[in-house]
Amino acid sequence: MELLLKYFPDITETQKKQFALLQSLYEDWNLKINVVSRKDIDELYLRHVLHSLGIAKVQSFLPDANILDVGTGGGFPGIPLAILFPETNFHLVDSIGKKIKVVNEVVEGLKLDNVKTTNDRVETLNGKYDFIVSRAVAQMETFVHWVQGKIAKHSQHERKNGILYLKGGDLSEELQLYRNASIFPLIDFFEEDFFETKSVVYLPLKFRR
Ligand SMILES: C[S@@+](CC[C@H](N)C(=O)[O-])C[C@H]1O[C@@H](n2cnc3c(N)ncnc32)[C@H](O)[C@@H]1O
């Protein structure tokens, strides 16, 4: 929790309580349905919460924006972002039902009224979103294929609409197809060794191949 306050010192008392509750909610749910590994539970704020919030250091979301988290698993990056941006609408989707069950319980436990969930493959969704966020779901080419028709073209945030993907390692090969991609190394925002090799990749709406 101190780690979170170090990098997000302006969060409200409500947000502090919600972030504090995350640890016990995930500990309890993980005993029944494994959504976070044992090691990761012990370092939940570093490996999951702060990592997810790396997206917020690259892009703040406006109150009326619609955000889709693809392959949210146990709720990352969607849940930490939904706490940080309580006025923004988040749609969390995952194809595995038991993971969405845990996400629903966490959403209820935190009283997050800006989150809806769907248990299905993302390809089946018809909505349009200002931003698509994700972590550890698919290679960029596959991912872009799944989601590029789901990015809203006519919203007021049009100029910035696009994909924000949390990626690790050397991205040069994977991203060479996308000349408009920007890479934001997370170590620029968070001075923790864990972030040494991790980045946010931003692909704007009209990403060119
Ligand atoms: C490695 S996990 C990552 C979970 C979470 N994003 C995280 O970083 O902790 C990948 C998740 O993507 C989901 N997934 C994979 N392909 C998907 C698809 N086409 N539509 C929806 N979910 C998908 C899987 O069910 C799995 O929960």
Helix H or strand E encompassing 68: strand 66-70
- Report the nearest-CA residue for atom 13 of ligand 1: 71
When pLDDT is averaged across residues 21-42 and rounded to a whole number, the result is: 87
For residue 155, name the pLDDT band (cuts at 50, 70, 90): low
Q: For residues 194 and 209, what is the distance between their CA atoms, to the nearest angstrom? A: 31
3-state SS, residue 69: strand
Name which of 40-54, 71-85, 158-172, 183-197 the model is least confident about: 158-172
Q: What is the pLDDT of residues 62-103, one digit of tens each?
A: 998 999 999 999 999 999 999 999 999 999 999 999 999 999
Domain of residue 73 covers 2-204
- Whole-number Å distance, alpha carbon 13 to ligand 1 midpoint, is 31
pLDDT over 90 percentage in the chain: 78
Q: Extract the annotated binding site.
A: 71, 76, 122-123, 135
Instruction: Judge whether 39 lies within some domain.
Output: yes
Q: In the predicted model, is pLDDT for residue 208 greater than 70?
A: no
Task: Give domain status of residue 91, yes or no.
Answer: yes
ipTM of the modeled complex? 0.99
Q: Is residue 21 in some structural domain?
A: yes
Q: Is residue 178 part of a domain?
A: yes
Q: What is the pLDDT of residue 50?
A: 97
pLDDT tens profile 94-134? 999 999 999 999 999 999 999 999 999 999 999 999 999 99
Written as one string, the DSSP assignment of 87-133 is: TSEEEEEES-HHHHHHHHHHHHHHT-TTEEEEES-GGG----BSEEE
Ligand 1 mean position to 8 CA, how many Å? 27
- pTM to 2 decimal places: 0.96
Is 209 domain-assigned? Answer: no
User: For residue 112, what are the CA distances in angstroms to 65, 104, 169?
Assistant: 16, 10, 33
Q: What is the mean pLDDT of the chain?
A: 92
Tell me, what CATH number does 119's domain have? 3.40.50.150
Count of the separate structural domains present in the chain: 1
Instruction: Flag whether 97 is in a domain.
Output: yes
Give me the pLDDT at residue 37, please.
83
Q: What is the pLDDT of residue 54?
A: 98
Q: Where are the alpha helices (DSSP H) in the chain?
A: 2-7, 13-32, 38-42, 44, 51-58, 78-84, 97-110, 140-147, 172-175
For residue 12, tell me if it sits in a domain: yes
Binding residues for S-adenosyl-L-methionine: 71, 76, 122-123, 135
For ligand 1, atom 12, the nearest C-alpha belongs to 71
Within a domain: 36: yes
